[in-house]
Each structure stands twice: as C-alpha cells, then as structure tokens.
C-alpha cells in the first residue's frame, strides 16, 4: 500500500468545498510516525470503511446486529478505543480525517484485538448524508470538537442546527447525542442548538454529569487540576 495520506488539504471556506457546506476542520499535514504508518497500512484494509456516496449496511460492515455508535472526531483514538473495549456489546464507527490519529487508533485496535471498532477517514458531514441510513444509529459521540474560538469563525463550528437535524434523522427513537467541550462559550452554543431541536430531549437540567463510559483524557485531567471546566451534554431522541 502506498504512503498513507490525508484526503487532500481542506481549506476553510465555502468556496473551497464543492459539496456546499462549510467544513469544521482544516487538514494539517501532521507527522505520521513509523508505527502509525505501519498500523495504518496493515489495519485500514481490515477495519477501514471507505467513503462511498451510497447507503452503508452497518450490520454487514460489523458482521452482526448490535447497537451502532457513530463518533465524529476520534483524535488520537485513546477515548474511542477505551469505550469500544469496555462495551463489546456495541459497534463503533469512528470518523477521523487526520492520518496520525487514524494510524494511532489502528495500532490500539490491532494490539488489543477488539472487533467492534471501524474507522472512516472522511468528512463526517458527507458520511452522514450519503452513507448512514435513517434511524440506524443508537448514539452519536462528539467529544472536544474544534472550538473555533474567534467570533468570526463560529460559523465553522460543527454543532449547528443543520447537522443536529441530520443527526436526529439518523438516530433511532431513544438514541442519544453526547457532546463534550472544554470551551464554555461553545458549551453554551451546543446547549442552545440542541435544546432548540424539537425532536431532542435533554437528559439533564442543562449540562450533564460526565457519563461513566466517557473516560477522562490526560489533557482533560490536567485541565481539571488547573481549574478548567469541561461540559458534557447528553440529549435523547424523543
């Protein structure tokens, strides 16, 4: 297999995206370690889900019928792996565009032997729109998305009404959306957007306690020690 590459350099802005939505990420050419490269090449043919603009049979992808959880932004994969390993009764499809993170998650999956994690290296908005069928997901995880802190960039934040409406359409009744952020301003926007979606119901009065299944990251633990806040939001489809 040829050298692992990011799927082009996505630049911010509508004009750079022929698919018509503002991307919430910019692909940076991060360094891929030799281990990440090796596991990427070995594992993506086994657990990678290529983007195709046709509906995906998730049961066929995982080889069984089980609750399907969709994660947008796996980062370096530690949280994704920890959740999947702790919950073998569920199947997890993680979306991550950055090759170092994909390679890192591939390494964790390979070394542990878990069988309920798949990875798609593509824009989550397009995967949701084109590949995920209506009412097929039991849950959605969106942990620490790019906060785009400058006010003029807030339109690039992932959690916006159109995306939430799309997520709701893909959730089974009773399915959940779980977001987490360490930016208070973004948490406020998330709460506003999720509350405004009539098909969703908040599981808490405002922000939710961190569910036990979401482990604390090293970055998060350090922030808590420094007095920084972290906000979880868990909403269910009515």
State the catalytic residues.
Answer: 146
Question: CA neighbours within 13 Å on the CB side: how many for 137?
Answer: 26
Separation CA 167–CA 70 (nearest Å): 10
Q: Which two tokens stand for residue 31?
A: 């360094």
φ, ψ dihedrals at 152, nearest 5°: -70, -15
φ, ψ dihedrals at 93, nearest 5°: -110, 110
Label residue 51 exposed, middle or buried (CB < 10 Å: 0-12, 13-18, 19+): middle
Cα–Cα distances in angstroms (integers) from residue 77 to residues 93, 96, 164, in the given order = 12, 9, 23
Which residues is 234 bridged to in the sheet? 178
Which residues is 235 bridged to in the sheet? 177, 202
Separation CA 199–CA 161 (nearest Å): 12
Which residues is 48 bridged to in the sheet? 119
């Amino acid at each position: 297999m040829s050298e692992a590459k990011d799927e082009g350099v996505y630049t911010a802005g509508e004009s750079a995206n022929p698919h018509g939505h503002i991307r919430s990420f910019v692909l940076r050419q991060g360094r891929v370690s030799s281990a990440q490269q090796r596991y990427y090449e070995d594992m993506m043919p086994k657990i990678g889900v290529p983007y195709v603009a046709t509906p995906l049979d998730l049961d066929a992808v995982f080889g069984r019928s089980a609750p399907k959880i969709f994660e947008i932004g796996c980062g370096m994969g530690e949280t994704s792996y920890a959740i999947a390993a702790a919950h073998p009764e569920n199947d997890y499809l993680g979306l991550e565009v950055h090759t170092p993170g994909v390679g890192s998650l591939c390494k964790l999956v390979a070394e542990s032997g878990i069988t309920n994690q798949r990875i798609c290296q593509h824009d989550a908005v397009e995967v949701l729109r084109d590949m995920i069928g209506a009412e097929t997901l039991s849950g959605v995880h969106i942990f620490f998305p790019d906060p785009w802190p400058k006010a003029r960039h807030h339109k690039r934040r992932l959690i916006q009404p159109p995306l939430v409406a799309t997520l709701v359409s893909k959730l089974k009744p009773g399915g959940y959306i779980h977001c987490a952020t360490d930016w208070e301003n973004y948490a406020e926007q998330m709460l506003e957007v999720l509350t405004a979606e009539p098909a969703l119901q908040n599981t808490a009065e405002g922000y939710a306690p961190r569910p036990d299944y979401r482990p604390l990251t090293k970055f998060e633990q350090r922030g808590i020690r420094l007095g920084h806040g972290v906000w979880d939001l868990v909403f269910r489809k009515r």
